[in-house]
Structure 1
Amino acid sequence: MKAAGFVLTAAVLAAGSASAADTAGFAFLRIPVGARAAAMGGAFCAVPGDPTSLYWNPASAVSVSSQTITTHYTGYFLDMQGGFAGWVSPSEDDAIGVSANYFYGGSFERTTMQDPLGTGEQFSSSSVAVAGTYARSLTPTINVGATGKFVYSSIDEYSGNAFFVDAGATWRPSAGSPLTTALVVRNAGIQTKAFYRENDPTPTEIAAGCSYSFAGPGVLVSAEASYPVNGDPNAALGVEYAPMDMLTLRLGGNLRDMDSSKEAGGGFVDGMAFGMGTSFNRLALDYCFKPFADLGSVHRISLGYTL
């Protein structure tokens, strides 16, 4: 399945979320969700109160203040695109949520041994994940959560599916502390149908992180380290600054993006992500810009609505 490998590798490289050495299947699950999180370099497993915690760390869903709907769209190069939609409903001690994540890998011209320059036919790739989340506060300082997801991917006439689970926890030194620490396992599970003859390695990874909110200057700093079972370790750092009530500026980066940028002929700036956000009444709008050297740029936009 060389074609499948090419599309999946292109997907994660387009997102700047994994290295070329990544060998896992269903690689779209590692593409960052949410313009806010992406602009902070993906250092997001310990950031509380954001509805995209349905993707990053299910334990943080219980810290969302109100029932919220969030949507996200990413436009890549090579005609690739991805999106996410989620709903989270917190109560006093727990929260539930549902979400869907998709990726379209674009269209490619079919080649064969007899027609190495192309047959004139086209094939495409697409993937989708549907998930349900439950989170609960065990104590005023400890939250836990889990997400179960069904994943389906197809390329040309081949398809595969899997069941994965995310499980996470967050801890604060005291109730209301500006410091949050987190631990999460993402995409642990089994492939129930192989694309071809053998199952692919799973995109399982373990991540730990912390965030600190400086209330006075309106600054949030977040860090995360992750270890994929089938890939290279990663470290990410992100900063968020709110100079005024309706404007937030963001900057972040991670080691994978830096390495990918270098391989693509780019420099330090190409390995970084930049973003901004605004909110008005019940609406929140976020944007992220991610340069990728000579390959182009990735644009992400998210829209949230508090019910």
Structure 2
Amino acid sequence: MWNAVNLQSSINGREMIKKTLLLCLTIVLCQSGLAQEFRKSGTSGFAFLQIPVSARYAALGDAGITLSNVGADGLFVNPALVVLSDAQLSLSATHANWYVDTKHQALGVAYHLRGVGAIGISVINFDFGEIPRTANYIPGIFEPSANETSPFAQQGSYTAGATAFGVSLSRSLTAQFAFGATLKYVQESIDNYDASNVIADIGFLYFTGFHSMRVGAFLQNFGLETQYANEKFKMPQQLRLEISAELIGDLVSPNRLTLIADAAQANDADERLHIGAEATLMNAVV
């Protein structure tokens, strides 16, 4: 009886992996088609979604969708990683001061549920602060006062910002294959104008069984076009494929050296190749 149940479970697991890999292949082909259609740089909106959330991933050249034991950081880089965390509850919080007094911050919480996998919620915010509002003078109609030296009329200030809220689910389909997805509501505003959309992240992770080698795929910011004022634009969609392995130690070694190779294809930029390495000493990243 137990042998029959285990056999059926194994068959179901293999069928699920086949269907998932077929979906991944379909996404790759669709993304390739988009790449052939669009060859323009900087044509997508919601650019704040392209900023690396974690300093750890920024240090790796934005690679790392196959890293191990990343906790709630996985909510932002590959939701398939979240279920592989050793902790039942994990938290990720970052804050960075960006150019010209702008600020980027993110918060993520992940929790393991028995029989379900891992669930998580996340928020990313980019604050542009207050921006001076100016207007051009028009000779004979709108002219500066006698003591005005500025070439523009000062008319107070306005604010701008962008936010993304996400809900994630991460599951291990088999001992070698994990899947994760995030549904995100994104919103941007500048003065009296705003735009919003619902987009998705989909990630996979597969342990090859050859030493510690694993491969991953991550489709980020997948969604339809949206409109800002009178202009339509597409989401900053990106497909990433990655392979990684430990050159020293293995996944559970307290001391290890991990090498990562990551290929990224965005719909508003040329293809990129990221190479990164990470050293871990006594289970602490150095």
How far off is 1:221 after superposition? 1.8
How far off is 1:167 after superposition? 0.7
What's the Cα RMSD here?
A: 2.2
How far off is 1:130 after superposition? 0.5
Change (3 A) 1:247 1:141: closer
Is contact 1:52–1:86 with CA below 8 Å preserved after alignment? Answer: yes
Residue 267 (structure 2) aligns with: 229
Q: Aligned to 1:71, which of 65, 81, 93?
A: 93
Change (3 A) 1:173 1:150: same
Residue 79 (structure 2) aligns with: 58
Task: Name the TM-score, length of structure 2 as normaliser.
Answer: 0.73
How far off is 1:44 after superposition? 1.6
State how far apart, in whole Å, the 2-side matches of 1:118 and 1:139 are. Answer: 64
State how far apart, in whole Å, the 1-side matches of 2:223 and 2:151 are. Answer: 38
Residue 84 (structure 1) aligns with: 106
Query: Deviation string for 1:123-154 (max 9, x for gaps)?
Result: 22211111000011111111111100001111
Within 5 Å, give how 1:211-222 maps onto structure 2: 211-213=244-246, 214-215=248-249, 218-222=256-260
Residue 164 (structure 2) aligns with: 129
Larger strand proportion of the pair: 1
Q: Which has the higher contact order (CA 8 A, sep 6+)?
A: 1
How far off is 1:121 after superposition? 2.1
**Aligned to 2:235, what secondary structure does the other structure show?**
coil
How far off is 1:82 after superposition? 0.7
What residue ranges of structure 1 are gaps of 5+ in the alignment? 1-19, 250-307
Matched, 1:97 2:126: no
Change (3 A) 1:118 1:220: farther
State how far apart, in whole Å, the 2-side matches of 1:186 and 1:150 are. Answer: 13
**Aligned to 2:231, what secondary structure does the other structure show?**
coil
Residue 64 (structure 2) aligns with: 44
State how far apart, in whole Å, the 2-side matches of 1:246 and 1:135 are. Answer: 24
How far off is 1:232 after superposition? 2.6
Residue 176 (structure 2) aligns with: 141
What residue ranges of structure 2 are gaps of 5+ in the alignment? 1-39, 138-149
Is contact 2:184–2:198 with CA below 8 Å preserved after alignment? Answer: yes
Change (3 A) 1:246 1:56: closer
Matched, 1:245 2:259: no
Larger Cα-atom Rg = 2
Query: Deviation string for 1:175-220 (max 9, x for gaps)?
Result: 9x5222101111111355x320132221111111122123275212
How far off is 1:159 after superposition? 0.7
Is contact 1:63–1:90 with CA below 8 Å preserved after alignment? Answer: no
Matched, 1:185 2:219: yes
State how far apart, in whole Å, the 2-side matches of 1:61 and 1:131 are. Answer: 14
**Aligned to 2:265, what secondary structure does the other structure show?**
strand
Residue 41 (structure 2) aligns with: 21
State how far apart, in whole Å, the 2-side matches of 1:124 and 1:211 are. Answer: 42
Task: Name the TM-score, length of structure 1 as normaliser.
Answer: 0.68
State how far apart, in whole Å, the 2-side matches of 1:106 and 1:223 are. Answer: 37
Number of aligned positions between the proteins: 227
Larger helix proportion of the pair: 2
Could you tell me the percent identity over the aligned residues?
Answer: 26
